[in-house]
Amino acid sequence: QVQLVESGGGLVQPGGSLRLSCAASGSGLNIVPMGWYRQAPGKQRELVARITNGGWTNYADSVKGRFTISRDNAKNTVYLQMNSLKPEDTAVYYCNGWTSMSNDYWGQGTQVTVSS
The 8-class DSSP code of residue 87 comes to G
> What pLDDT is attached to residue 65?
98
For 52-62, b/e burial (b = at least 16 CB within 10 A) is eeeeeeebeee
Residue 76 clears pLDDT 70, i.e. is over it: yes
pLDDT digits over 8-35, tens only? 999 999 999 999 999 987 667 889 999 9
How many angstroms separate the first and last alpha carbons of the chain?
37
